[in-house]
Structure 1
């Protein structure tokens, strides 16, 4: 009898355990959410083998089809700079991204290259929402149409998207009187608040340099960070936050699959998750046919105007990003010399970040209008101002103050100007010597300097140039690209070469 009771008790206990397990299983849920971020998309038609809007849209469509729980975001920089955007102020990008809309888009600094009015116009033309929690009018009032934190509930999982723009935008773009609060501080504060308000997943959608990204990672406030700005691919997971820096021109796309496990124990909701990073080389992606048709239409329209040979280069030219932002280049020399020829200035100083072709030209290459406009897509004007040697030296110190970061403020200069730089010295004390036509730059002397209207207004940190005696302003200056095209056409053949104008030690 006791043995029978013991067996019965065992059966009842096993049954009870099975029922308990069944209840737990019923309460536990697994949800797969895919996060796909892109940013820094400039060339609508991409490169020869990868990137571009047709491949980007194809990947987004495929991800959404494979998992309806896909959140597709943009983390800054599409309206500029590009060849076609120089003509239509970025409308081509809006038209193409509208074909596969984002769930959320954050403005990058290049969204403001044509001013805030143009950005607002493009925002209204978009079939997807733009948002940034750290941008307001000067008086703190919100920007009409620019949203804030976005909440999404996916199969019971509450997701908070924290959209944050780069706080250095006023230094490098035309943001008028708009106010940009701290990227990192604003993002972390909002992330913690979203967690307090019940978010299961907190996702940062940001345009920020690596240094900012690492600070946000260290805060432990985010589950996922999708970041743009640095033009490279970075994948990182520290056990707390999954982080992706999203490449350039959609060359590579990194979907992040988050498997979320939701359970309840003792009346308390528990959420755990783990990431899976997938690497997509878009060289292996078949372009979306509908988008490709629109891309070809844009290409045909451009070709009629731009594929006109204006001359050739007898020497190799290099406009790669890592070159024009760190050292003298033949391309920088060519552009600066053309500006001096057009303006009659003593010398020219331009920012390497304004040279955007990111390519090499072999000696003997025929140069077209397209080439020059690809290199100078911003529509900047050649301006001329009288500056003291003190202003020039301070401007040059600013130009070399962030060599290690590959900042766009690095100078490219015309013939006759020679600069020696100690890159290991503290910022502000890096110019070892600076001379013009063999004579040291005299802080008290006045020089006639050609630059671009962006730098003359203090862009890229060239605040030393503001307050100069302006001889030719942006309203009267000619397009830099036009000055270069005229120069090449008149010369017929150009032969610029690195000749020691800038020596970096």
Structure 2
């Protein structure tokens, strides 16, 4: 709403910051940060699939380590923080099946602290515990509570103190984790706001020489949000919010997969207040020198599955987009048609009227040309079973009405967007009043009868209530068995082999937004950004509440006004959450995100930071 004005202020500070970064009067601390790597240990294409000779290759932990080591030499006062979701997404995770290669990589890179994402729970508590035992740095989650024996012994901490820098780092995990991943019933997640308040009190009680908390940075993950100076960015880096005391809170994140490394340098004055800042997301391109030792390890780890991953299983006539966050997409169309074809293919499966699939389960795009087995496995890494569920017509109507409104029939926020098979014809108006956005719903060319029961193909995650498309309740789900039973990635591979070359149907015929304002498809965030310029200022599941869905930054029609940023709800709160002491934190993004909160510590008897 004040974008142009804010950009001007940021630009003015950028011009003078290099002249004011002086250690004799001020102290600067650099935060390096990553999030949502999703097992991209090796370099990859911008769409997230494995590299080939025809496309640009970016990222990879060997290059990240090379850049991190360079920045640590340049900024000796620095911390490297990881906002979670290291697990799930490539064969480096699924082939080794226990995260041990990820742990070895993170130890080599030298992470200083990390929080847990929802995907760290995809294999259950015990697998996570074994992974955590291999890590050589603090793992933080203040709102995680567990009685699982192995996970309890894994020493997950609510916070870490870095007394050298007079900082506390508190980790928080999305409370929706039980509905979007697979923690045991013995592991629960409390309100992030309450957990943060409790931990501040705990730190005060344990360290009475700390007078108050003042400096503050939020390092977020989970939303796969691109911020910075790129033309397709969703906001500035850092995004600035005000706490109740009117102080700036710096909010940063670094997109996804390790395509970017975040670098935020914060300047503190003699009273410990944030004075200025400078930073940018650094794109990890092919010209960055990799760490040779780590590159060699990763190459060795790839060998056991390389031949399997390189098998060509089909050809795509055009690029298949996974930009499914708020709209129909070609990858979503593919997987939904695959489900229906599978369920209607033989006597061992109950036939279905149509199918839908959550967009969070579509992880990467497919490029035009040869499609390899590894590409499909990376696009659909969760190994979900395809099931049939029975829904009355009224329930179907409520599912889509709720999706377009952003809340289900129980008024719980919906965390994703449905892709549908060719059997569906859905018309909606995203600008209509809440509760009346769905205009028409057809199956097989016929309007849905609200009293009739329909059998719908979907994945077992959605059938169990994942992503909150419908209120949780016992629901019969027919699970096929026999020789044709397979996880979704294998079914897509079989389909592509039979439909080779694959010519995707036109996008826009299944989910039709009749609103003129919002009908145009949003740009593809997986395309290569045109710059990374800095901005500164004065069973395994496949749902992600914010994995590319209507985001904390207010992008899209659900969850915020287009183009807005987080803001203080009213005096004494940030984002609707209470703020203690009026100066220590901002909570506007905590309800849905995986977050690290950086709190400055003012010690009794010290006036200067050092």
**TM-score greater than 0.5 by the shorter chain:** yes
Rg larger for: 1
Cα deviation, residue 271, structure 1: 3.2
Q: Paired residue for 1:379?
A: 383
Q: Paired residue for 2:11?
A: none
Judging changes above 3 Å, is the alpha-carbon distance between structure 1 residues 273 and 435 closer, same or farther for their aligned structure 2 residues?
A: closer
Cα deviation, residue 412, structure 1: 1.0
Q: Deviations over 1:135-185 (max 9, x none)?
A: 11389x99432111211211xx52111111122222322233222112234
Secondary structure of the residue that 1:146 maps to in structure 2? coil
Q: Paired residue for 1:333?
A: 333
Q: Paired residue for 2:34?
A: 38
C-alpha distance in structure 2 between counterparts of 1:252 and 1:308, whole Å: 29
Secondary structure of the residue that 1:242 maps to in structure 2? strand
Q: Paired residue for 1:433?
A: 440
Cα deviation, residue 342, structure 1: 1.2
Q: Deviations over 1:355-382 (max 9, x none)?
A: 011x3533xx122212211210112111
Q: Is residue 154 of structure 2 the alignment partner of residue 151 of structure 1?
A: no
Q: Paired residue for 1:227?
A: 220
C-alpha distance in structure 2 between counterparts of 1:465 and 1:193, whole Å: 35
Secondary structure of the residue that 1:95 maps to in structure 2? helix
Cα deviation, residue 402, structure 1: 3.8
C-alpha distance in structure 1 between counterparts of 2:151 and 2:333, whole Å: 43
How do 1:188-267 and structure 2 match up within 5 A?
188=197, 190-191=199-200, 194=203, 197=208, 199=210, 223-231=216-224, 232-233=226-227, 234-237=237-240, 239-262=247-270
Cα deviation, residue 483, structure 1: 0.9
Moved over 6 A (4+): 473-476
C-alpha distance in structure 2 between counterparts of 1:245 and 1:474, whole Å: 43
Which 10-residue stretch deviates more, 173-182 or 345-354? 173-182
Could you say which structure has the greater relative contact order, defined with CA pairs below 8 angstroms and 6 or more residues apart?
Answer: 2
Judging changes above 3 Å, is the alpha-carbon distance between structure 1 residues 235 and 31 closer, same or farther for their aligned structure 2 residues?
A: closer
Cα deviation, residue 301, structure 1: 3.0
Judging changes above 3 Å, is the alpha-carbon distance between structure 1 residues 386 and 418 closer, same or farther for their aligned structure 2 residues?
A: same
Cα deviation, residue 351, structure 1: 0.5
Cα deviation, residue 63, structure 1: 3.3
Secondary structure of the residue that 1:304 maps to in structure 2? helix
Cα deviation, residue 419, structure 1: 1.1
Q: Is residue 53 of structure 2 the alignment partner of residue 56 of structure 1?
A: no
Q: Paired residue for 1:286?
A: 289
Cα deviation, residue 425, structure 1: 3.6
Structure holding more strand per residue? 1
Q: Is residue 190 of structure 2 the alignment partner of residue 181 of structure 1?
A: yes
Q: Paired residue for 1:109?
A: 118
Cα contact 2:389–2:478 (8 A) shared by 1: yes
C-alpha distance in structure 1 between counterparts of 2:460 and 2:288, whole Å: 41
Cα contact 1:150–1:162 (8 A) shared by 2: yes
How do 1:73-472 and structure 2 match up within 5 A?
73-89=81-97, 90-137=99-146, 143-144=152-153, 145-154=155-164, 157-177=165-185, 178-188=187-197, 190-191=199-200, 194=203, 197=208, 199=210, 223-231=216-224, 232-233=226-227, 234-237=237-240, 239-262=247-270, 270-279=271-280, 280-283=282-285, 284-319=287-322, 323-344=323-344, 345-357=352-364, 359=365, 361-362=367-368, 365-402=369-406, 409-426=416-433, 428-464=435-471, 466-472=473-479
Secondary structure of the residue that 1:451 maps to in structure 2? strand
Which 10-residue stretch deviates more, 54-63 or 185-194? 185-194
Judging changes above 3 Å, is the alpha-carbon distance between structure 1 residues 337 and 445 closer, same or farther for their aligned structure 2 residues?
A: same
Q: Deviations over 1:314-344 (max 9, x none)?
A: 344212xxx3122222221111111111112
Cα contact 1:386–1:470 (8 A) shared by 2: yes
Secondary structure of the residue that 2:163 maps to in structure 1? strand
Cα contact 2:126–2:151 (8 A) shared by 1: no
Secondary structure of the residue that 1:246 maps to in structure 2? coil
Judging changes above 3 Å, is the alpha-carbon distance between structure 1 residues 83 and 393 closer, same or farther for their aligned structure 2 residues?
A: farther
Cα contact 2:359–2:419 (8 A) shared by 1: yes
C-alpha distance in structure 1 between counterparts of 2:396 and 2:376, whole Å: 27
Cα contact 2:138–2:160 (8 A) shared by 1: no
Secondary structure of the residue that 1:105 maps to in structure 2? strand
Which runs of 5 or more residues in structure 2 are unaligned?
1-23, 45-55, 228-236, 345-351, 408-412, 515-610
Q: Paired residue for 2:587?
A: none
C-alpha distance in structure 1 between counterparts of 2:466 and 2:305, whole Å: 29
Cα deviation, residue 275, structure 1: 4.1
**TM-score normalised by length of structure 1:** 0.79
Secondary structure of the residue that 1:241 maps to in structure 2? strand
Q: Paired residue for 2:518?
A: none
Cα deviation, residue 119, structure 1: 1.8
C-alpha distance in structure 1 between counterparts of 2:474 and 2:138, whole Å: 39
Q: Is residue 530 of structure 2 the alignment partner of residue 488 of structure 1?
A: no
**TM-score normalised by length of structure 2:** 0.66
Secondary structure of the residue that 2:458 maps to in structure 1? strand
Q: Paired residue for 1:18?
A: none
Cα contact 1:355–1:376 (8 A) shared by 2: yes
Which 10-residue stretch deviates more, 177-186 or 34-43? 177-186
Cα contact 2:238–2:279 (8 A) shared by 1: no
Task: Number of aligned residue pairs: give it.
Answer: 442
- Once superposed, what is the RMSD of the aligned Cα atoms? 3.1
